[in-house]
Amino acid sequence: MADTLTFEEEVEVETPAPALGAGCCGDTGDAYDLQKPFKAEDKRLLNCNQVDVNQLMPLKYDWAWEHYLNGCANHWMPTEVPMQRDIELWRSDALTDAERQVILRNLGFFSTGESLVGNNIVLAIFKHITNSEARQYLLRQAFEEAIHTHTFHYIVESLGLDGREVFNMYHEVSSIKGKDQFVMNMTSDVLDPNFSTASIEGMQKFLKNLIGFYVIMEGIFFYSGFVMILSFHRQNRMTGIGEQFQYILRDETIHLNFGIDLINTIKAENPEIWTAELQRDIYDMVSEAVEYEVLYARDCLPDGVMGLNETMFREYVQFVADRRLERIGLAGVYGSKNPFPWMGETIDIVKEKNFFETRVTDYQNAGALSWDD
C-alpha cells in the first residue's frame, strides 16, 4: 500500500518565483519584475509575452492609439441607414440585368471577404502582435469587420435576396474564390502550430501575412468593388447601399493606414528581415493580386456598365497597387494613371454630413437609459 502523507510530516514546498508582469520584455527577452519601473521603449510589437495584462500605458506607438481613436470616432451601424429607396429601385425594372449582376457580385465578394479579414485578426495576427496599443486597435478592427459582415446581412434582408446565393458566391465565381483563397493561404501559414516569429524566416512570413491582408486584401482587392458600388451612388441610385459602402471605405482607409504603419515599424525594428528575396516575393504577391482583381472586374461587368469596363479597372488597380508598394518602401512598377479621380474625394467625405442628411439617429448614453426593476 502506498505511503500516506500526514499533516505531521514536514513537507518541502518550492518557493514560488517573484510575480512578473508589465506585459512586455526588455532587451534580454525576460519579463519585467513588477517592482521595477516599466519603460515604454521596451514594448515591442513582436516577440514579447503573448499572454499577459494589457499594459497600455505608457504608450510607445502613438500611431496605433491614434488609429484606435479614429476608428472609434467613425463608429456606425448598418441598420441606421435607410434602405427604402434601394428596395423600391430593386423591385422596379429600372435596373438592367448587367447592373444587377454588378451589385450582386460585389455583395457576394464583400460578404465573405470581410469575414476573412476578421478571422485573420482573431486567429493569426493578434497572437503574435504583443504590443498593447496595437492590440487595442486590433480589437477595434475585429469589431468593425463584424459590423461590415452585418452590413451585407442587412442589405440581403432589406432587398429580399437569396442569402445562400450571396454568401456562397465564393464557391461559384472563380475570381471571388481566387481572391479569397489567396489570403486564406496566408492565414493557414501563420496558423501552423510550429509557426513562430522568433526567427528571421518567421518574421518574414508574418510580414507577408500583414501585407497580404492590409496592403492587398483591404488595400487592393476591395477597391474595384468600392468604385463599382459608389458609381451607382454618384448617379443617386442604390443610395442606401452606397452610403454603407462609403462608411466601409472610411473604415478600410483606417485599417490600411494602421497596417502600413505596423508593417513599416516591424521593418524598422527588424531591418534584417527586409531582404532582396522578401522584396521580390512581395512584388510577386502584388502582381498576382492585380491579375485576380482584373479578372474580378471582368466577372462583374463582362460587357461594361455605367461607362465602366475591364480596361479602366486594369488601369485603376495598377495605379492603386503602385501607391501601396510605395507606402511600404518599394518602387511602383506599373506607372498607370487613376481613371477615377473622384475616389479620392469620396475617401475624404465627412461621415457626419452624409449620415445626418439621410437620417437623424438618437444615441443614448448610460445616464439617459431607464432600467426596469
pLDDT of 204-218, one tens digit each?
999 999 999 999 999
Integer Cα distance of 13 and 300 in angstroms: 70
Q: Which pLDDT belongs to residue 348?
A: 52
pLDDT digits (tens, 9 = 90+) for 24-44: 554 444 554 545 655 655 566
Say which DSSP state 59 is in. -
Whole-number percent of the chain with pLDDT over 70 = 77
Mean pLDDT throughout 71-91? 96
- Alpha carbon distance 253, 259 (integer Å): 10
- Mean predicted lDDT score pLDDT of the chain: 84
Supply the pLDDT for residue 3.
47
User: How confident is the model at residue 30, as a pLDDT?
Assistant: 53
Q: What is the pLDDT of residue 18?
A: 34
Q: How many Å apart are CA 3 and CA 24, to the nearest integer?
A: 45
For 127-166, what is each residue's pLDDT tens digit? 999 899 999 999 999 999 999 999 999 999 999 999 999 9
Q: What is the pLDDT of residues 292-346, one digit of tens each?
A: 999 999 999 999 999 999 999 999 999 999 999 999 999 999 999 999 999 877 6
For residue 104, give the amino acid letter: L
pLDDT band at residue 19 under the 50/70/90 scheme: very low
Contact (Cβ atoms closer than 8 angstroms) between residue 86 and residue 229: no
In DSSP terms, 106 is beta-bridged to none
The residue count of the chain comes to 373
Model pLDDT, residue 25: 53
> How crowded is residue 228: how many other Cβ atoms within 10 Å of its Cβ?
23
Instruction: Please give the share of the chain, as a percent, with pLDDT higher than 90.
Output: 71
| Contact in structure between 106 and 228 (CB atoms under 8 Å) | yes
Write down the CATH number for the domain with range 63-357.
Answer: 1.10.620.20
Task: Round to whole Å and give the CA distance between 342 and 355.
Answer: 20
DSSP-assigned letter for residue 51: S
Q: Which long-range contacts (CB under 8 A, 24 or more apart) does 93-98 make?
A: 94/237, 95/237, 96/305, 98/301, 98/303, 98/305
In 128-167, which positions are buried (b, 16+ CB within 10 angstroms) versus exposed (e)? bbbbbbbbbbbebbbebbebbbebbebbbebbebeeeebb
Mean pLDDT of 32-60: 62
Neighbours of 250 (CB within 10 A): 20
Report the greatest alpha carbon distance in the chain.
Answer: 91
pLDDT band at 59 (very low <50, low <70, confident <90, very high): confident
Q: Does the annotation count 296 as an active-site position?
A: no
CA distance 76 to 16: 48
pLDDT at 187 over 70: yes
C-alpha 92/C-alpha 237 separation (Å) is: 12
Distance, in Å, from the CA atom of 369 to the CA atom of 52, rounded to the nearest integer, reads 35
| Cα separation, 309 vs 303, whole angstroms | 7
Q: Is the pLDDT of residue 53 over 70?
A: no
- Catalytic residue chosen out of the listed positions 32, 137, 154, 223: 154
Distance in angstroms (rounded) separating the CA atoms of residues 329 and 261? 11
Predicted confidence (pLDDT) per residue in 109-134, tens digit: 999 899 999 999 999 999 999 899 99
The SS3 assignment for 309 reads coil
As annotated, the residues of the chain forming the CATH 1.10.620.20 domain(s) are: 63-357
pLDDT digits (tens, 9 = 90+) for 238-266: 999 999 999 999 999 999 999 999 999 99
pLDDT of residue 367: 38
> CA nearest 282: which of 332, 343, 223, 212?
212
| 57/341: higher pLDDT | 341
One-letter identity of residue 327:
R
Quote the DSSP letter at residue 236.
T
Whether the bond between 58 and the residue before it is cis, its omega within 30 degrees of 0, is yes
Give the Cα separation of 345 and 280 in Å (integer).
Answer: 33
Cis, bond preceding 339 (omega within 30 deg of 0): no
Cβ atoms of 79 and 359 closer than 8 Å: no
Whether the pLDDT of residue 358 is over 60: the answer is no
pTM: 0.82
pLDDT(10) > 90: no
Residue 23 in this model has a pLDDT that exceeds 60 = no
Distance CA(344)–CA(229), nearest Å, equals 15
Cell numbers for 195 = 509557426
pLDDT digits (tens, 9 = 90+) for 266-301: 999 999 999 999 999 999 999 999 999 999 999 999
Residue 65 has pLDDT above 70, yes or no: yes
